[in-house]
């Protein structure tokens, strides 16, 4: 049961360092909580108002008291155990809300103090920080996590410093997640885990090739739905680049540009010749899907159907493409 207690001037209700589960409310009189500022060591006196609780944090958290509770004039307090205190405040949510605000304020203040002492070593601009998280996961081939981070980046910083790269990497993460799955796939070019941060590390062999740069720039244009412009860029890479990987990648993207430009005949022609030249194209199923969809758009459902059936019968087709095919077949029927 909560019980009233009386104290004479100059008595001490508790000392700093004491561990106790008692919480008090001041009914009448005057009390000062004396402590030392943790930063300067200066003595601090906090006077308790009538009706105010004290000793709450240390009792609830079972921590040593951080102050001496000194009685200044004849005083009456009511003493609660932690369960009694909890039962009381549960009936009074306004009181809890008030305390939460007080505590959160204290927490914020101490947080700021700690951060200021750690300032030199831990200061990372949140924008660069978030982008780096994406890069970290992408580097570890954890594509779903990387995609999440880059998408959040693009949501919060739509015109941010790393916007273009975040776009490219998000696309990569999405593509690799479907194509290879977590933990698999080739390493990704152009990651630089130290942008804007302090974790500077020697960076060797991570420079993006010119072909890669051009390719990802074009991918970015594509993702902005500027298909005609993307088409020109991909064509340029496909014709001029010395890097076969990006030449083939660009050839594939050219087909997608045709499709999105609604040039279905060009799309069909382009993918058919691409598949003839590179029968082992990594994106073979996706290429066939675009051919099927192009026939669909042209109203030739029979031909579309035959391409879709072919994809369904191919071993090792990714679940994403299969889903797209099934959806397209359902829509057509």
Partner 1 sequence: MNLEAFERFAVSYEPGEIIFCEYEPGDAFYLIQGGRVQISRIMGDIEKTLDVLQQGEIFGEMAILEEAPRSATASAIERVKCLEFNRANFEILMRGQPAIALRLLKLFTKRIYDQRRRFMILTLDDVQARVADVFLMLNEMQVNPAEEEMDERVFQTTQDDVAHWAGLSSEETRHVLNHFVSQRRLEVQKDQIIVKNINEFIRFVSSRRKQ
Interface positions with partner 1 (CB under 8 A): 38-39, 41, 56-58, 60-61, 63, 66, 86, 89-91, 93, 96-97, 99-100, 103-108, 110-111, 113-114, 117-118, 121, 124, 126-127, 129-130, 132-133, 136, 140, 142, 144-145, 148-149, 152, 156, 182, 193, 199, 201
Output 199 or 242, the one with its CB closest to partner 1: 199
Residues 14/68, Cβ–Cβ less than 8 Å: yes
Output 132 or 293, the one with its CB closest to partner 1: 132
DSSP string, 221-237: HHHTT-HHHHHHHHHHH
- Rounded Cα–Cα distance for residues 331 and 39 (Å): 68
Output 7 or 131, the one with its CB closest to partner 1: 131
Cβ 60 to partner 1, closest distance in Å? 5
Alpha helices in 140-263 (DSSP H): 143-156, 163-179, 210-223, 227-240, 244-260
Beta bridge partners of 6: 76
Output 8 or 98, the one with its CB closest to partner 1: 98
Cβ 149 to partner 1, closest distance in Å? 5
Cβ 225 to partner 1, closest distance in Å? 26
Cβ 104 to partner 1, closest distance in Å? 5
Nearest partner of 129 among 99, 83, 166, 173, judged by Cα: 166
Residues 103/57, Cβ–Cβ less than 8 Å: yes
CA of residue 303 relative to chain centroid, distance: 44
Output 152 or 226, the one with its CB closest to partner 1: 152
Cβ 148 to partner 1, closest distance in Å? 4
Burial of residue 60 (number of CB atoms within 10 Å: 0-12, 13-18, 19+): middle
Cβ 137 to partner 1, closest distance in Å? 9
Output 59 or 221, the one with its CB closest to partner 1: 59
């Amino acid at each position: 049961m909560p019980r009233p207690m009386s104290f004479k001037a100059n008595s001490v209700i508790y000392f700093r360092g004491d561990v106790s589960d008692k919480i008090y409310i001041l009914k009448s009189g005057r009390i000062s909580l004396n402590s030392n500022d943790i930063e300067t060591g200066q003595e601090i006196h906090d006077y308790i108002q009538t009706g105010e609780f004290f000793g709450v944090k240390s009792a609830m958290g079972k921590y040593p008291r951080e102050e001496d509770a000194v009685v200044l004039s004849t005083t009456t307090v009511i003493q609660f155990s932690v369960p009694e205190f909890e039962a009381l405040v549960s009936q009074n949510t306004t009181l809890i809300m008030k305390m939460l605000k007080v505590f959160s304020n204290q927490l914020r203040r101490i947080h700021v103090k700690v951060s200021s002492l750690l300032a030199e070593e831990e200061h990372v601009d949140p924008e660069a920080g978030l982008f780096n998280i994406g890069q970290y996961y992408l580097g570890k081939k954890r594509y779903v996590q990387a995609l999440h981070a880059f998408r959040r980046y693009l949501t919060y910083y739509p015109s941010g410093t790393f916007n273009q790269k975040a776009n490219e990497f998000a696309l990569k993460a999405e593509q690799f997640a479907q194509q290879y799955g977590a933990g698999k796939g080739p390493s990704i070019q152009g990651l630089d885990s130290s942008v804007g941060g302090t974790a500077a590390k020697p960076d060797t062999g991570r420079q993006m090739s010119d072909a890669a740069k051009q390719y990802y720039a074009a991918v970015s244009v594509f993702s902005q739905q500027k298909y005609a412009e993307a088409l020109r860029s991909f064509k340029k890479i496909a014709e001029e680049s010395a890097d076969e990987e990006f030449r083939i990648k660009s050839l594939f993207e050219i087909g997608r540009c045709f499709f999105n430009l609604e040039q279905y005949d060009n799309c069909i022609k382009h993918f058919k010749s691409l598949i003839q030249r590179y029968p082992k194209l990594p994106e073979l199923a996706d290429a066939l899907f675009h051919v099927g969809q192009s026939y669909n758009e042209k109203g030739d459902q029979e031909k579309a159907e035959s391409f879709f059936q072919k994809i369904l019968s191919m071993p090792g087709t990714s679940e994403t493409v299969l889903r797209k095919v099934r959806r397209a077949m359902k829509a057509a029927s």
